[in-house]
């Protein structure tokens, strides 16, 4: 398993009965997590700022128990990220991805050449920030205007707005196909596709149906001596071995690692599974 254990501003304090209690810069959020199938008691001993409640009809809402800011900042190493209470229990950041940020930054810093990164389904831009910080140029693609604006805020928060970054609101499939036609190439690709989604113009995305084709297309965008290709997924319908098979078929000569992303749970020897990642490198 790949454990993101270098956090100081983020901690999982306790997990029990389908819920996880997290500290985000000392602001405590309690939210559902379906992988928490064990019972370690309740959370009454903690001063919780906000709890996310699911709705029987789908979705849900946050309920603030204590005064909670509309947004605040968490730090990871020398990176900064803006946090907010979002619909469907999210905060705008996935802390388990820190192990990928570490890898991305290390590979870029040690490449000894200019690195051009393509970040697909790029969300609020954590990997964009990490890659810019390490010295790469980044093309950041997401179908949500709101997420693009949030990513721009994260870039400014890290004083990287003068670095070479392009933000594009676009459907990932259409963008990748256009880049192939244009003959553009990249040294690294990062993607964090949802299980299901819609593009900027209503295009439908299904991970199980479309991932293999997208990987094939992305391979055409990579330079022969590309640095890395990283795929993250949170779908329970895509086992590790299925992702590994897709990557082995498309990249038979490269180094491939597929593993669980995890976070440590405080004051225990337990780890919380948080999706899977596939890493392809030429080194």
Q: Count of domains in the chain?
A: 2
- Cβ neighbourhood burial of 226 (10 Å; 0-12, 13-18, 19+): buried
For the sheet with 228-233, list strands across it.
Answer: 2-3, 255-264, 271-281, 228-233, 188-191, 116-120, 137-142, 165-169
| pLDDT tens, position by position, 115-141 | 999 999 999 999 999 999 999 999 999
Helix (H) or strand (E) holding 162: none
The neighbouring-strand residues paired with 197 are: 205
Q: Which two tokens stand for residue 250?
A: 């498309």
Q: Which two tokens stand for residue 213?
A: 């084709």
The Cα 7–Cα 272 span in angstroms is: 15
| Tokens, residue 103 | 């890898």
**Domain-located, residue 74:** no
| Pair 49, 179 in one domain | no
For 195-254, write each residue's pLDDT tens digit: 776 665 666 767 778 899 999 999 999 999 999 999 999 877 788 999 999 999 999 999
Pairing status of strand 188-191 against strand 116-120: parallel
On whether the CB atoms of residues 142 and 132 are closer than 8 A, the answer is: no
Query: What pLDDT sits at residue 259?
Result: 97
101 with 186, same domain: the answer is: yes
pLDDT score, position 201 = 66
pLDDT of 200 reads 59
The pLDDT-based confidence of 185 (bands split at 50, 70, 90) is very high
Give kind and range of the element (H or E) at residue 174: helix 172-182
- Which pTM value belongs to this model? 0.94
User: How much of the chain, in percent, has pLDDT values that exceed 90?
Assistant: 87
Residue among 227, 223, 231 at smallest CA distance from 247: 231
Answer yes or no: is pLDDT of 283 > 70: no
- Domain membership of residue 87 (yes or no) is no
Cβ neighbors of 172 (< 8 A, separation 6 or more) are: 120, 121, 141, 143, 191, 193, 199, 205, 214
Say if residue 6 is in the same domain as residue 126. no
Tell me what the mean pLDDT of segment 255-280 comes to: 96
Would 219 be classed as within a structural domain? yes
Q: What is the pLDDT of residues 134-181, one digit of tens each?
A: 999 999 999 999 999 999 999 999 999 999 999 999 999 999 999 999
Residue with tokens 């602001």: 27
The CATH number for 58's domain is 2.60.40.1180
Residue 6 lies in a domain: yes
Q: Residue 241: give its domain's CATH number.
A: 3.40.50.150
- The verdict on 12 and 110 lying in the same domain is no
Compare 55 and 126 and report the one with higher pLDDT: 126
Domain's final residue, options 54, 69, 84: 69
Same-domain pairing of 99 and 32: no
Together in a domain, 140 and 243: yes
Residue 77 in any domain: the answer is no
Secondary structure element (H or E) that encloses residue 263, with its range: strand 255-264
21 and 119 assigned to the same domain: no
Domain edge (last residue) among 20, 54, 69: 69
> Domain check: are 254 and 172 in the same one?
yes
Give the residue numbers spanning the domain of 273: 95-281
Check whether residue 103 and residue 222 sit in a common domain.
Answer: yes
Pairing of strands 165-169, 137-142: parallel
Res 206: pLDDT: 73
Residue 181 lies in a domain: yes
Whether 82 is covered by a domain: the verdict is: no
How many degrees, rounded to 5, is the angle at CA 189 between CA 213 and CA 91? 100
User: Given a cut of 90, is residue 269 above it in pLDDT?
Assistant: yes
Looking at the fold, whether 253 and 200 belong to one and the same domain comes out as: yes
For the cut 90, the answer to whether the pLDDT of residue 272 exceeds it is yes
Give the tokens for residue 51.
């709890």
Last residue of a domain, one of 18, 53, 69: 69
Q: Do the domain assignments include residue 85?
A: no
Distance, first Cα to last Cα, the chain: 20
Q: Are residues 251 and 130 in the same domain?
A: yes
Same domain, 39 and 132: no
Question: pLDDT grade, residue 70 (50/70/90)?
Answer: very high
């Amino acid at each position: 398993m790949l454990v993101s254990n270098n956090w100081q501003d983020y901690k999982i304090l306790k997990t029990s009965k389908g819920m996880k209690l997290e500290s985000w810069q000392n602001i405590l959020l309690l939210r559902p997590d379906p992988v928490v199938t064990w019972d370690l008691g309740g959370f009454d001993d903690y001063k919780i700022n906000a709890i996310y409640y699911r709705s029987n009809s789908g979705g849900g809402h946050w309920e603030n128990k204590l005064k909670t800011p509309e947004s605040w900042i968490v730090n990871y190493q020398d990176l900064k990220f803006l946090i907010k209470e979002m619909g469907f229990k999210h905060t705008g950041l996935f802390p388990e991805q820190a192990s990928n940020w570490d890898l991305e930054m290390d590979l870029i810093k040690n490449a000894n050449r200019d690195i051009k990164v393509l970040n697909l389904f790029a969300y609020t831009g954590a990997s964009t920030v990490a890659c810019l910080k390490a010295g790469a140029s980044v093309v950041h693609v997401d179908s949500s205007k709101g997420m693009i604006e949030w990513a721009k805020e994260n870039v400014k928060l890290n004083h990287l707005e003068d670095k070479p970054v392009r933000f594009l609101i676009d459907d990932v499939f259409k963008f990748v196909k256009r880049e192939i036609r244009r003959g553009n190439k990249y040294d690294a690709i990062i993607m964090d596709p949802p299980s299901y989604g819609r593009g900027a113009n209503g295009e439908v995305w299904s991970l199980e149906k479309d991932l293999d084709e997208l990987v094939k297309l992305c391979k055409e965008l990579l330079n022969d001596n590309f640095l890395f290709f990283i795929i993250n997924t949170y779908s329970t319908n895509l086992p590790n071995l299925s992702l590994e098979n897709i990557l082995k078929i498309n990249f038979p000569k490269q180094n491939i690692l597929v593993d669980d992303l995890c976070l440590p749970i405080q004051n225990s020897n337990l780890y919380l599974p948080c999706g899977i990642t596939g890493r392809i490198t030429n080194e």
